[in-house]
Amino acid sequence: MQAYILQRLLLAVPTFLGAVLLVFVLLRLLPGDVVSVLVFGGEGPSPATQEQIHRLREELGLTRPLHVQFWDWLTRAVRFDFGASLWTGQPITRELLLRYPVTLSLLLVSVTVSVAIALPAGVVMALRQDTWVDYALRLLTLAGLSVPNFFMAILLLLALALLLDWSPPLEYRPLWEDPWLNIQRLLLPAVVAGYRLSAVGARMVRASLLEVLGEDYIRTARAKGLGEALVVSRHALKNALLPVVTLIGFEVISLIGGVVVVETVFTIPGVGRFLVDAVFHRDYPSVQAVVFVLALVVLVVNLVVDLLYAWLDPRIRYR
């Protein structure tokens, strides 16, 4: 197991560096830079002279060769020293430490809600195959796969405002300071972000469980007189979860991207909102810092998914 983990970590290094380098290059290919946003404000004439603009670019380190900029940033980033924001001048690490708990809370609530919905819904659809319950739940999951997160969030906000005359509070408080306000602030975004994950998970649980329920050992368990609940929970569901774990791992990764949209729509002060503001202001170091940490999260999620296989299926051995 230790050799396998070490091998996966070594293979993750070029993937990680490739992702960071790709974002670094793409950001430099975009028209304009942070100096253009600072001086010109995006449009209109500027009172600054070309000499002043050039001096400002030198102060921000934007006139150095690209490979020098990248190497300097990378050597500091591996120590989690991301420098200062080009837009606000504040340390990026401090900004991330303030915002990552918010995003992490949203992700945890989203995954918890989605798994709590997906597992029972998938089991019910499999056990009630081709009944009206199955068709109704499949229709709901199809809607979760078809409707984009931002559109669903807008519809939900409009429905709550028009029908119930209620909207989520704009202020954010940590759970330990104000639990009720924190729940009100995060529950709706978590439902929107986790809806797709629950839809994908429920359909996969249904398909996997239907396949497993047709196996010989399930018929043997039933022939021995075991109750249906015991057959499903002890013998069928655990084996049916193998492909579901892989799928949920990939969907959690995509959920990280969906959180960017959800945080923007619901004005949640998390990493997603910070990333959108950084891109808008051409704040290269901030965007690279967010991508750096998100890439680490993705690699960890992939490793955890692989290790869960050994727990779910004892036949799997890592060498």
Measured over the CA atoms of residue 130, residue 132, residue 133 and residue 139, the dihedral's sign is positive
- Can you give the pLDDT at residue 314? 59
Is residue 135 predicted with pLDDT exceeding 80? yes
Is residue 188 predicted with pLDDT exceeding 80? yes
Q: Give the mean pLDDT of 10-25.
A: 83
Q: Give the mean pLDDT of 119-133.
A: 87
Rounded to whole angstroms, the Cα distance separating 7 from 191 reads 37
Percent with pLDDT over 70 in the chain? 85
33: confidence class by pLDDT, cuts 50, 70, 90: low
Rounded to whole angstroms, the Cα distance separating 121 from 117 reads 6
Rounded to whole angstroms, the Cα distance separating 179 from 176 reads 6
Q: What is the average pLDDT value for the chain, to the nearest integer?
A: 78
38-87: per-residue pLDDT in tens? Answer: 665 545 455 556 776 677 777 767 778 888 888 888 888 888 888 888 77
Which residues are bridge partners to 186 per DSSP? none
Is residue 277 predicted with pLDDT exceeding 70? yes
Structural domains in the chain, sorted by start: 104-280+298-312 (1.10.3720.10)
287-310: per-residue pLDDT in tens? Answer: 888 888 888 888 887 777 777 766
Identify the weakest region by mean pLDDT among 96-105, 234-243, 253-262, 280-289.
234-243
